[in-house]
Amino acid sequence: MEYAVKSLVLTAFLVLGFSFLDGIYFHSTGLAQPASQTINLPNPVKTGGLPLNEALNLRRSERSVLGTPLPQTQISQILWTAFGVNREAGSMRTIPTAHNRQDLLVYAVLDNGVWLYDAPNNKLELQLKGDHTDKYGQAPLTLLYAVPEKDGAVGGVHVGAALQGVGLLCASEKLANVVKLTGADALKGQLPLPTGYHVVVVQSVGLPADEQ
């Protein structure tokens, strides 16, 4: 009987201990555990922000960002701006696409994995476990833009529309962002892209380093 009681106490202690550690990890990222495989994002805000001309005037590239994790609400807003659904009927997107192909894929590199943005369901799906932010200058969020090679120049147009929207949002939200070709192949052979797809450019986002 005494042995059984001790076993129960030890089991309870271990469960509580791991729960405590999970809580610390959850707090550090502001996101669900990678083990969940999916993250349901908050609804994006579709009103407010800076007037367009002010955002255009403030838009710029900033390579130095803090590693401070961005809140879920901000991550959701950035992804929605890049390639979200802005009209429920027909699942039309925030950017134009040739013949409405919607072939663009947007991946989010966070400190708890690399996630594919599922715009119609407003969620993230885990594609690659682990912290890969060191491949992108430790930015708390890096967007990987992937298109089918067969799309050629049209795919580049889709990516350009997405990253420009994110750049303007960053200007409005006082976030730093930079678009880079360097790093496009950083996860080659690790990230399970659909057949024929390749990452053409990356966009890192975070708080400006001068916020310290």
**Which tens digits make up the pLDDT trace of 124-159?**
999 999 999 999 999 999 999 999 999 889 999 999
User: Distance (Å, rounded) from C-alpha 159 to C-alpha 87?
Assistant: 20
| pLDDT at 23 > cutoff 80 | no
- Beta carbons within 8 Å of 164's beta carbon, 6+ residues apart: none
What is the predicted pLDDT for the residue at 34? 54
User: Distance (Å, rounded) from C-alpha 180 to C-alpha 63?
Assistant: 9
pLDDT band at 64 (very low <50, low <70, confident <90, very high): confident
What is the predicted pLDDT for the residue at 2? 52
- Beta carbons within 8 Å of 125's beta carbon, 6+ residues apart: 37, 38, 115, 116, 118
- In the DSSP assignment, the letter for residue 71 is P
199: left (phi over 0), alpha (psi -120 to 50) or beta: beta
pLDDT band at 175 (very low <50, low <70, confident <90, very high): very high
What is the predicted pLDDT for the residue at 101? 79
Mean pLDDT of the chain: 85
Residues of the chain with pLDDT > 90: what percent? 71
What is the predicted pLDDT for the residue at 134? 95
Residue 104 and residue 97 in contact, taking contact as beta carbons nearer than 8 Å: yes
C-alpha 39, offset from chain centre: 11
| pLDDT at 78 > cutoff 80 | yes
What is the predicted pLDDT for the residue at 8? 42
Mean pLDDT of 176-194: 95
What is the predicted pLDDT for the residue at 90? 61
pTM: 0.81
Q: What is the pLDDT of residues 84-125, one digit of tens each?
A: 999 876 688 999 888 777 899 999 999 999 999 999 999 999
User: Distance (Å, rounded) from C-alpha 204 to C-alpha 113?
Assistant: 15
User: Distance (Å, rounded) from C-alpha 166 to C-alpha 108?
Assistant: 13
What is the predicted pLDDT for the residue at 28? 38
What is the predicted pLDDT for the residue at 99? 79
Mean pLDDT of 190-200: 96
What is the predicted pLDDT for the residue at 102? 87
User: Distance (Å, rounded) from C-alpha 137 to C-alpha 65?
Assistant: 8
90: left (phi over 0), alpha (psi -120 to 50) or beta: left
